[in-house]
Amino acid sequence: MASENETNVASTPEATAAQAESREGVTPQGSPQEGNGGVPGPYALGEGITRADRIAPYERKTGDPIYRPLRIFTRDPATSLLAGAIALVNLPYEPLKPGPEGALFRVEGPGPPQDLDDPALLISNGATPSMSDGQFRKQMVYAVCTSVYGSFRAALGRYVAWGFDQPGAGALKLTIRPEAFEGENAFYEKRNGTLSFGFYKGDKGKTRGNNLPGGTFYTSLSHDVVAHEVTHALLDGLRSNFTIPTGPDVPAFHEALADLVAFFQRFSYAGVVRAAIREAGPNLAKSAILTNIAEQFGQTVLGTGALRTITEMGRHGEDLRQYGEDAEPHALGSVLTAAVFDAFNTIFRRKTEPLLSLATGGTGILPHGQMPADLQDLLAKAASKLASQFLSILIRSIDYCPPVDIRFGDFLRAMITADHDLVPDDPYAYREALIDAFRRRSIFPIRVPNLSEDALLWRPTRMQIEPIPGLNFASLRFRGDPQNAAGGKELLRQARCLADVICRPEYAAEFGLVSPGRAAQMGVQAGLPCIQSIRSSRRIGPDGQVAFDLVAEVTQRQTALHRGRPMQFLGGATAIIGPKGEMRYVISKSVTSESRMLSQKAYLDSDAGNALWETTRAGLRPRPEMLRLLHE
């Protein structure tokens, strides 16, 4: 049973031709092959496989400028200039149509489209940052989204494909609407590939800070809000099933990662970091400039200092908030953000101890008064470099996450494995700091014997699986660069090579799948395994070594009953395949797991789950647009 986003391989013209050539071994649906004869069972190919061929990033040509410098608000319009309110960001150059519209983003809004190739704007680094200029709002969203996308590309070693489809055969572009509606909200919509930002009148009685009571405010001018929303879109492109709320951690993870990306992205603005060091000294946790998220929004809507903070404490102020105290997505997500920040701050203190020791004659205690300017500069540079490293770890770890039902403990294992993979030597104990920060908040992975680094690393399959010749990098075809597959046909070929192995009945359980024969024995109603995506990855470690991998997702759906109605239950695996076609890691969630099934049913019966699922004539299903609901 293929979902609406899956294609039954045996029924497509491409698959029929492939079978005629006796290359694929794919069996028509309804005629499964069982046993250990080396013949794969039937499978499906998801539409997401070829989405990578529908993005067309601009490739720099000889004579092109290297950068397009544009000015942005680093936090929001209410931030003081002395706190680094405005920054000049150097974006990778691409020719732009009026909008602006580039290869990946299309900005739409009221008034004439902004032409950033206009000579007057080119010479002035774009429009002047202004709260009242609609043209600048278009520039702001384009610049921040492009910058965040660049961070994802650098960490993953490839361009990120979007998680949505659009009519026609042209390139997929994320549409950004900086003045989409009147309301205190902003959201990503998967169904049409759109980021929509609202504008609103501030509450006269609640407005705080450097804001006009009752004034008009735009969420598209908040750096944090824009970075948060485009992160939702990018995560959807990397793990499309993370918009299915199978448990409390799934929506909370989306919110937490989006906040963390916005937070660490802020460290790329030198003026902001120097202002934070002046404010808080070497203890970054004391800096509201850094730790507050969406400050203007919180001041004008909630009457608080910020919408959220990275360093939230427990309910009684003195204790750390613990995992499981509150299933509301933002509250639960704050536990994850606080854990990551705790590890970041720990490593920052370790790395800057020698600087403080030299500056204080070995005492480590700074005298009262203004910190020396040179020390401020050194600490700011150290913080920015470390933030860039943590941001890369976070983003790179998404490739090491399971394809469905993400748990915070899974993400800890993903971070430990991703970092160990690229940086085996860890003299400052980054991974130890992460493990300790998660432990202190009661975030524990399941099915591990202990919390040692070695125990948390993902593993290959338990059964011996020979390298897949068709996925050896010598057999892969690229378009100029290993981050770009040669085209949709090449991606489909790679997906079939993978499916021919992992869909064999004897290997199914290793990848969280169930074969037709085993499903019949268990009385399980399962659909076809579906290859959701297969992507190349190129990463460069700190000592200059280059690591190449393929990252693939396979999923399978089981139809179960809950409250007497059908309910979809997902399983599958992420496979990380080395350059010789070997299975390096398999991160699986079994489609027949009874414990996960019980957890999903309990979540659907909870207040948090009931808000994100609905009962229809066809059964229980996630409410459309989970991410929009979270922000409402």
pLDDT tens by residue, 381-435:
999 999 999 999 999 999 999 999 999 999 999 999 999 999 998 999 999 999 9
Residue 304: count other Cβ atoms within 10 Å of its Cβ: 16
Parallel/antiparallel/unpaired status of strands 481-485 and 530-540: unpaired
In this structure, what are the phi and psi dihedrals at residue 79, rounded to the nearest 5 degrees? Answer: -70, 140
Does 182 lie in the same domain as 310? yes
- Asked if residue 609 belongs to a domain, the reply is no
Q: Are residues 448 and 568 in the same domain?
A: no
- Kindly state the helix (H) or strand (E) to which residue 137 belongs, with its residue range: helix 134-156
Is 176 a domain residue?
yes
In angstroms, rounded to a whole number, what is the distance separating the alpha carbons of residues 433 and 429?
6
For 102, the 3-state DSSP assignment is coil
The alpha carbon dihedral of 11, 14, 19, 23 has a sign of: negative
Domain co-membership, 34 together with 121: no
CB atoms within 10 A of CB 548: 16
Q: CA-to-CA distance for 226 and 204, rounded, in angstroms?
A: 25
Q: Do 469 and 330 belong together in one domain?
A: no
622 found inside a domain? no
Residue 320 and residue 189 in one domain:
yes
Whether 109 and 52 share a structural domain = no
Q: What is the pLDDT of residues 479-517, one digit of tens each?
A: 777 777 778 899 999 999 999 999 899 999 999 999 998
| Residue 555: inside a domain | yes
Do 370 and 394 have their domain in common? yes
Give the tens place of pLDDT for each residue, 154-190.
999 889 999 998 888 788 999 999 999 999 999 999 9
Chain centre distance of CA 142? 19
Measured between alpha carbons, how far is residue 267 from residues 173, 226, 318, 396 in Å? 27, 16, 27, 18
Distance, in Å, from the CA atom of 345 to the CA atom of 79, rounded to the nearest integer, reads 24
Q: What is the pairing mode between strands 174-182 and 194-201?
A: parallel
**pLDDT surpassing 80 at residue 32:** no
For residues 407 and 405, give the distance between their C-alpha atoms in angstroms, rounded to a whole number: 6
- Which of 410, 433, 454 is the endpoint of a domain? 454
Specify whether 399 is located in the same domain as 534. Answer: no
- Which of 454, 477, 507 terminates a domain? The answer is 454
| Three-state DSSP class for residue 234 | helix
Using alpha carbons only, give the angle 306, 154, 122 rounded to the nearest 5 degrees: 75
Indicate whether 18 pLDDT > 80: no
Secondary structure E strands in 455-563: 478-479, 481-485, 530-540, 546-562
- 446 beta partners: none
What are the structure tokens assigned to 86, written together? Answer: 């405005």
Which residue matches tokens 């790179």? 396
Domain count, the chain: 2
Residue 240 has pLDDT above 60, yes or no: yes
User: Mean of the per-residue pLDDT values for the chain?
Assistant: 88
Summarised one tens digit per residue, pLDDT across range 565-623 is 999 999 999 999 999 999 999 999 999 999 999 999 999 999 999 999 999 988 999 99
- Residue that terminates a domain, selected from 398, 431, 454: 454
Task: Read off the tokens for 179.
Answer: 């003045």
Position 357 confidence tier, pLDDT thresholds 50, 70, 90 = confident
Same domain as 510, residue 422: no
Q: Are residues 380 and 413 in the same domain?
A: yes
Helix (H) or strand (E) holding 188: strand 186-189
Q: Do 55 and 77 meet the contact criterion of CB atoms below 8 Å apart?
A: no
516/43 Cα distance (integer angstroms): 11
139 with 26, same domain: the answer is no
- Could you list the residue range(s) of the whole structural domain that residue 397 is in? 67-454
Side chain identity at 187, as an amino acid letter? F
Q: Is the peptide bond before 100 cis (omega within 30 degrees of 0)?
A: yes
Verify that 536 and 570 share a domain, yes or no. yes
Share of the chain above pLDDT 70, in %: 92
Identify which of 331, 302, 87, 51 has the alpha carbon closest to the alpha carbon of residue 173.
51
Q: Does residue 83 fall inside a structural domain?
A: yes
